[in-house]
């Protein structure tokens, strides 16, 4: 069994990962998102930055108190230490941190940390229990390792952009770096699985995640359409290839998302709309019929929806058990979550230093997520981390 390593200033808390030390050598989004989730669950995450800091610190606007909101989004609950890996003293400190860590997370180009003695083989030789997670764009193979792993490129080459946008228009990227986030989630799952395995075997392992593999997995029914069915999907705007209705439909003052995933839901929809006979119309009786004849069915639904506002239909259809929703901007999405009692925003810190942040989406009955620290300033905890590492080195060599 592997003894948990205690980090600087670590205190046992209610978090499920309390006592786990994470050496975070990652930057930008996928890695920092993964390590923030681990930190929310109680892990002690030490964010190692270059002297110039994580690139997202300068990704402006928007800002809050001069700090990039992009950086704030994925770096709460961490401590920051600035280390120049080209400097022998700083490099030794980084190596000591990796030796002490339960988890190492990095998203350098594959093999990029070897020259600093921070690659998996070197780290695991000194720390055989370590869970070492590597996130790349295209894997560690001889061809993929040399390719830059930007989310936008992966959206393009994976096929996602070919599915996004108007059928008659150009391909579009998703509104967020969706595969960075997805890879971060996959990395988190891999890390937790490896920690569970270590609990049994006492051995760590190398967890590898790449954006393209995450993308192809995350394309789910669309990638399966080709792999299992030989069908190459195409852009359908807001329409669904296998369901109808499952898209925005116009009301008197705007569009409302209206869905019917099965025959019962379709019957509930048309009954609430005042045209229950459509549920028994042989043209629309089954989902495959509705999907094939969507151009016939759509105007019949729109005719009824245009008689009232999106708000009125949203409340009435929801009361009838029909899944639907308005198309909000982000502020509306936050407000809607608040109306539902989901408490989407948490405040970290107090007074002028307080930072609002989006709540961790996981709830636990016992080991609740914690919001202990606002995202750190560059090297904010450098002195205490260096002292801790120096003390550990002295004790080991004594």
Q: Per-residue pLDDT tens for 282-301?
A: 999 999 999 999 999 999 99
CATH number for the domain harbouring residue 82: 3.40.50.10540
Higher pLDDT, 57 or 398: 57
Closest Cα to residue 109, out of 140, 84, 151? 140
Both 278 and 376 in a single domain? no
CATH number for the domain harbouring residue 255: 3.30.1540.10
Please give the C-alpha separations between residue 170 and each of 154, 214, 219, in angstroms, as whole numbers.
Answer: 17, 24, 19
* Domain end call among 307, 339, 371: 339
First to last CA, the chain: 24
What is the percent of the chain with per-residue pLDDT over 70, rounded to a whole number? 95
pLDDT tens, 55-68?
999 999 999 999 99
Both 200 and 322 in a single domain? no
Catalytic, out of 151, 180, 280, 289: 180
What is the percent of the chain with per-residue pLDDT over 90, rounded to a whole number? 92
Both 31 and 179 in a single domain? yes
Q: Which H/E stretch holds residue 47? A: strand 44-49
* Domain end call among 313, 339, 365: 339
pLDDT at 12: 45
pLDDT at 381: 98
Structural domain total, the chain: 2
Both 66 and 139 in a single domain? yes
Concerning whether 180 is annotated as a catalytic residue, the answer is yes
Average the pLDDT over 333-352 and give the result: 95
Average the pLDDT over 374-389 and give the result: 96
pLDDT tens, 127-186?
999 999 999 999 999 999 999 899 999 999 999 999 999 999 999 999 999 999 999 999
What gap in Å lies between CA 21 and CA 98, rounded to an integer?
Answer: 10
What gap in Å lies between CA 7 and CA 3, rounded to an integer?
Answer: 13
Q: What is the four-CA torsion angle of 194, 197, 203, 205, rounded to 10 degrees?
A: -30
Average the pLDDT over 102-116 and give the result: 96
Q: Exposure pattern of 178-189 as b/e (b: 16+ CB <10 Å)?
A: bbbbbbbbbbbe
Q: Does residue 9 sit within a domain?
A: no
Both 158 and 275 in a single domain? no
* Domain end call among 311, 339, 367: 339
Both 70 and 195 in a single domain? yes
pTM, two decimals, is 0.92
Q: How big is the CA angle at 252 (ends 246 and 258), to the nearest 5 degrees?
A: 15
pLDDT tens, 33-49?
999 999 999 999 999 99
Both 30 and 101 in a single domain? yes
What gap in Å lies between CA 34 and CA 79, rounded to an integer?
Answer: 15
Residue 1: pLDDT above 50? no
Residue 395: pLDDT above 70? no
Both 80 and 215 in a single domain? yes
Both 184 and 92 in a single domain? yes
pLDDT at 351: 87
Domain range for residue 155?
Answer: 21-219+346-397
Average the pLDDT over 372-383 and give the result: 96
pLDDT at 79: 98
What gap in Å lies between CA 366 and CA 43, rounded to an integer?
Answer: 16
Residue 248: pLDDT above 80? yes
Q: Does residue 272 sit within a domain?
A: yes
pLDDT tens, 295-321?
999 999 999 999 999 999 999 999 999
Average the pLDDT over 276-281 and give the result: 97
Q: Does residue 375 sit within a domain?
A: yes
pLDDT at 224: 98
Residue 392: pLDDT above 80? no
pLDDT at 4: 40
Q: Name the least confident of 143-157, 349-363, 384-398.
A: 384-398
pLDDT at 220: 97
Please give the C-alpha separations between residue 362 and each of 37, 43, 318, in angstroms, as whole numbers.
Answer: 10, 15, 25
Residue 15: pLDDT above 60? yes
């Amino acid at each position: 069994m592997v003894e948990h390593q205690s980090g600087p200033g670590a205190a046992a808390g209610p978090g499920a990962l309390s006592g786990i030390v994470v050496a975070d050598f990652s930057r930008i989004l996928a890695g920092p998102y993964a390590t923030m989730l681990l930190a929310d669950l109680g892990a002690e995450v030490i964010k190692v930055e270059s002297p110039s800091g994580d690139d997202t610190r300068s990704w402006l606007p928007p800002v809050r108190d001069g700090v990039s909101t992009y950086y704030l989004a994925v770096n709460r609950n961490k401590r920051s230490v600035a280390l120049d890996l080209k400097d022998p003293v700083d490099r030794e400190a980084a190596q000591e941190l990796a030796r002490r860590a339960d988890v190492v997370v990095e998203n350098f180009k594959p093999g990029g940390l070897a020259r600093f003695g921070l690659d998996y083989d070197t780290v695991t030789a000194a720390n055989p229990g370590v869970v070492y997670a590597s996130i790349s764009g295209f894997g560690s193979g001889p061809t993929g390792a040399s390719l830059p792993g930007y989310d936008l490129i992966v959206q393009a080459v994976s096929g996602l952009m070919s599915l996004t946008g108007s059928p008659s228009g150009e391909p579009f990227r998703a509104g967020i770096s969706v595969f960075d986030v997805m890879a971060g989630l996959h990395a988190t799952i891999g890390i937790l699985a490896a920690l569970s395995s270590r609990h049994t075997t006492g051995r760590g392992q190398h967890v590898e995640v790449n954006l393209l593999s995450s993308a192809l997995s995350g394309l789910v029914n669309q990638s399966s359409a080709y792999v299992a069915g030989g069908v190459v999907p195409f852009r359908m705007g807001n329409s669904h290839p296998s369901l109808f209705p499952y898209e925005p439909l116009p009301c008197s003052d705007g569009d409302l998302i209206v869905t019917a995933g099965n025959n019962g839901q379709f019957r509930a929809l048309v009954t609430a709309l005042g045209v229950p006979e459509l549920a028994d119309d042989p043209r629309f009786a089954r989902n495959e019929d509705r999907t094939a004849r969507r151009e016939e069915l759509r105007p019949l639904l729109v005719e009824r929806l245009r008689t009232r506002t999106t708000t009125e239909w949203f409340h009435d259809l929801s009361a009838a058990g029909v899944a639907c929703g308005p198309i909000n901007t982000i502020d509306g999405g936050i407000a809607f979550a608040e109306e539902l009692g989901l408490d989407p925003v948490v405040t970290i810190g107090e007074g002028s230093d307080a930072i609002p942040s989006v709540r961790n989406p996981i709830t636990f009955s016992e080991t609740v997520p914690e919001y202990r620290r606002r995202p750190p300033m560059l090297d904010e905890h450098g002195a205490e981390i260096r002292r801790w590492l120096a003390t550990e080195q002295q004790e080991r060599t004594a």
